[in-house]
């Protein structure tokens, strides 16, 4: 096989240590693949929910598939019978179809790390709401009321639904500080 010069995309390794880490109101996200022009193109991310951290109840049109790499986390699923928390362990796969209401909670003392497959559109959302963490900065600080308002505004622009603090509290998810609506 000859080595010809061409302008085609090349397969490559991704160094997660060289990819920006975004604080998304407590949990963090790393966008591991470039965001494509087509918003439906798959996007691979790494997400971390800190110890005792949560991802409040929400929904969006973008499907997501979570593969738990390490830690212990619970994913919330909704059916006709109501909501149920499903415990996830490393290697488990939690699929969220577009439009499904879902949430996560990490009740352990260790971070829960997962690989997430979704869309470039969701990656762009995280890019808009996330704040880059400096290398070695440690755990994100609690979000300010201004950051929460920015999050809610961008979520609205994207057509994403977020539960109220009261709806989250009914599921055992307590937001701190509570968003102002």
pLDDT in tens, 84-133: 999 999 999 999 999 999 999 999 999 999 999 999 999 999 999 999 98
Task: Give the phi and the psi of residue 81 in degrees, each rounded to 5.
Answer: -80, -10
Q: Which residues contact 85 (CB under 8 A, 6 or more apart)?
A: 74, 75, 76, 77, 105
pLDDT score at 85: 97
pLDDT confidence tier of residue 154, bands split at 50, 70 and 90:
very high
Q: Tell whether the model's pLDDT for residue 8 goes beyond 80.
A: no
Residue-wise burial string across 23-38, b where 16 or more C-beta atoms lie within 10 A, e elsewhere: bbbbbbbbbbeebeee
CA dist 77 and 66 (Å) reads 13
**Mean pLDDT score of the chain:** 90
pLDDT tens by residue, 43-93: 999 999 999 999 999 999 999 999 999 999 999 999 888 999 999 999 999
166 has pLDDT over 50: yes
**pTM, full prediction:** 0.89
How many helices (H) and strands (E) would you count in the chain?
3, 12
Spatial separation of the C-alpha atoms in residues 78 and 40, rounded to whole Å: 25
CA atoms within 13 A on the CB side of 54: 17
Separation between Cα atoms, residue 168 and residue 175, nearest integer Å: 8
What the chain holds in terms of domains, given with CATH numbers, is 20-134+141-170 (2.60.120.10)
């Amino acid at each position: 096989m000859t080595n010809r010069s061409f302008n085609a995309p090349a397969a490559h390794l991704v160094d997660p240590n060289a990819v920006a880490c975004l604080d998304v109101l407590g949990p963090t996200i790393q966008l591991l693949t470039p965001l494509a022009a087509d918003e439906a193109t798959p996007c691979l991310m790494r997400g971390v929910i800190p110890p005792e951290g949560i991802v409040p109840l929400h929904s969006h049109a973008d499907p997501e598939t979570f593969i738990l790499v390490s830690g212990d986390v619970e994913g919330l699923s909704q059916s006709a019978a109501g909501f149920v928390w499903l415990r996830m362990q490393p290697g488990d796969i939690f699929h969220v179809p577009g439009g499904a209401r879902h949430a996560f909670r990490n009740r352990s003392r260790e971070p829960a790390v997962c690989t997430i497959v979704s869309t470039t559109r969701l990656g762009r959302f995280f890019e808009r709401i996330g704040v880059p963490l400096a290398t070695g900065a440690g755990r994100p600080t609690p979000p300010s009321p201004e950051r929460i308002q920015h999050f809610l505004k961008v979520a609205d622009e994207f057509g994403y639904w977020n539960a109220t603090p009261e709806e989250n509290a009914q599921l055992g998810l307590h937001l701190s500080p509570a968003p102002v609506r």
